[in-house]
Amino acid sequence: MSGAKREFVVLLFPSTPDPRPSCPSARDIRPSLLGGQAKAGIDKAPNSPKMVGMEIIPRIMESRIRQALQRQKSVLLLGPRQTGKTTLLKPLQPDLLLNFLRPEVRQRYERAPHLLGAEVEALGERTRGGRTLVALDEVQRVPELVNVVQDLIDRKVARFILTGSSVRKLRRGGGVNLLPGRLMPLRLDPLSLAERVPPTIEEALVYGSLPGIALTGDDAAREEDLRAYTTLYLEEEVRAEALVRNLGMFARFLQLAALEAGGISHFRGIAQELGVPHTTVAGYYEILQDCLIAERVEALSQSRTRKKLTKSPRYLFFDLGVRRAAADEGPRPPVRVLGAIFEQFVGLELLRATRQTRGSVGLRFWRDPDGPEVDWVVVTKNRWLPVEVKWSDAPTERDARHLQTFLSEYSKASTGVVVCRTPRRFKITPKITAVPWQEIPRLVEELA
């Protein structure tokens, strides 16, 4: 990791996530949340026999949010369900917190969105020292509030932290207009390697890194929770929001998309399997992206020497445990597929590292259908880092041959790496280094 000082705030994640809301106790609510707003407190999972131990995990996005608030900025924090967004709000101590997963809270503002403006202005009269801080959790549930929030930000009445697990309704509700200059967009992913290194790589490939699942020691409980996550997504995000007409067809698509994750996307192949037009499959993938379930990685298709570079994107599921559950695969994958899953793991960790690093850093891949391919390419304005992934603890020069081809064709890339299971770095060639998978965040920081 770089030498830059980070401010960490200790957060406690329950061992098992639970979608059911429960009311916080009085000691969990700041005085400013009382007076009619106590029911809008942070959701907490009720006590469960599986919530045996608690592990202290610092989240990197905590410091990013605090820094934005200190500059009087508002924040849009997006992230899939159960990545810890609601938990992250508590130590920020908002003057008002509304959780729209709670039906009584959601219905109040659906009926009268203007009430939020009136309440925030009244709260501002009682808030001392600085602008009022308002947190709206799962704001996509009431997209009508977007215009109210925009007005309050423009008039400098309050600062806002908006969280959401889907951008679909926000886009349709005009929320995109909030992003330029008004809200700082941030993304909360499952636990990254910069936040927690799993005990073994096999555990990470099988169970993923959602906080409540990764920190559970009971494998049977993990399996149960991952299966429940997929069902919860279909019922609460897809059926309840009426995103598709045929939920059974979408459920079958979800399984196929999970099985195909990490590969070059072939809409027509899945469409043929489902018996639907390829445009329907494209729309289904768009739903996965909007609900933050799928990550789309574009191909690096520019070349002065090659004319047939792949242009189709690759899709990754945001969490490998959820991917496995959606694919209906068991917890003991055969050795022959571990390499492909490991490649997805490296891609996800590179994506998470690019979001945690300041500056413009992106992720691509490079593939010539008739020849070489590079699994991942980390790109900045002036430098590129090609990354090959090998399920090996001692990759050879032969494993790096496509990296050598890439380095010879692109001047922005001066070095390459092979991410593998080696216990420590070693040189494969003068320009190519074998790197342990635990050091993925460091690769991005060094490039940025």
At residue 303, the pLDDT reads 81
Asked if residue 29 has pLDDT above 90, the reply is: no
Query: Which of 178-187, 315-324, 400-409 has the lowest average pLDDT?
Result: 178-187
pTM of the model: 0.85
Sign of CA dihedral 322, 324, 330, 331: negative
Q: What is the pLDDT of residues 233-255, one digit of tens each?
A: 888 778 766 678 888 999 999 99
- pLDDT at position 139 is 93
**What number is the average pLDDT over the span 147-163?**
93
- Across the chain, mean pLDDT equals 85
Q: How high is the pLDDT of residue 55?
A: 67
Asked if residue 18 has pLDDT above 80, the reply is no
pLDDT score recorded for residue 237 = 79
In the prediction, which pLDDT does 43 show? 36
The percentage of the chain sitting over the pLDDT mark of 90, rounded to a whole number, equals 69
Distance, CA of 191 to chain centre: 9
* 3-class secondary structure, 96: strand
At residue 419, the pLDDT reads 98
Q: What is the pLDDT of residues 250-277, one digit of tens each?
A: 999 999 999 999 999 889 999 999 999 9
**Token pair for 38:** 């106590």
pLDDT above 80: residue 56: no
374 versus 336: which is more confidently predicted? 374
Res 112: pLDDT? 95
Interval 295-333: pLDDT, tens: 999 999 888 778 789 999 999 999 999 999 999 999 999
Sorted by where each starts, the structural domains of the chain and their CATH numbers stand as: 10-187 (3.40.50)
Q: Say what the pLDDT of residue 177 is.
A: 54
**Going along 142-226, which residue ranges are E strands?**
158-164, 183-187
Burial class (CB in 10 A: 0-12, 13-18, 19+), 332: exposed
Q: What pLDDT is recorded for position 169?
A: 76
Confidence (pLDDT) at 137: 96
User: Around Cβ 194, how many Cβ atoms within 10 Å?
Assistant: 21
Chain centroid to CA 184? 16
pLDDT given at position 173 = 52
Judged by DSSP in three states, 366 sits in strand
Q: Which residue has better confidence, 304 or 284? A: 284
Distances, alpha carbon 230 to alpha carbons 97, 272, 326, in Å: 28, 24, 6
Whether the per-residue pLDDT at 31 is higher than 60: the answer is: no
Mean pLDDT of 367-387: 94
In this predicted structure, the answer to whether residue 104 has a pLDDT above a threshold of 50 is yes
Is the pLDDT reported for residue 27 higher than 60? no
Tokens of 420: 């593998």
Q: What is the DSSP letter of 81?
A: T
- The residue behind tokens 């994958």 is 333
Q: Which of 71-85, 120-134, 157-171, 344-358 has the lowest mean pLDDT?
A: 120-134
The Cα–Cα gap between 326 and 316 comes to: 13
- Looking at residue 10, its pLDDT comes to 36
Specify the pLDDT at position 308: 85
Query: In which band, very low, low, confident or very high, does the pLDDT at 180 lie, cut at 50, 70 and 90?
Result: low
Per-residue pLDDT at 195 exceeds 60: yes
**Is a pLDDT exceeding 70 seen at residue 128?**
no
Q: Is the pLDDT of residue 360 over 50?
A: yes
| Interval 189-193 mean pLDDT | 97
Question: Range with the lowest mean pLDDT among 12-26, 272-286, 380-394?
Answer: 12-26
Closest Cα to residue 343, out of 368, 363, 369, 371? 363
CA 190, 193, 195, 200 dihedral sign is: positive
CA distances from 185 to 6, 79, 131, 243 (A): 19, 11, 20, 24
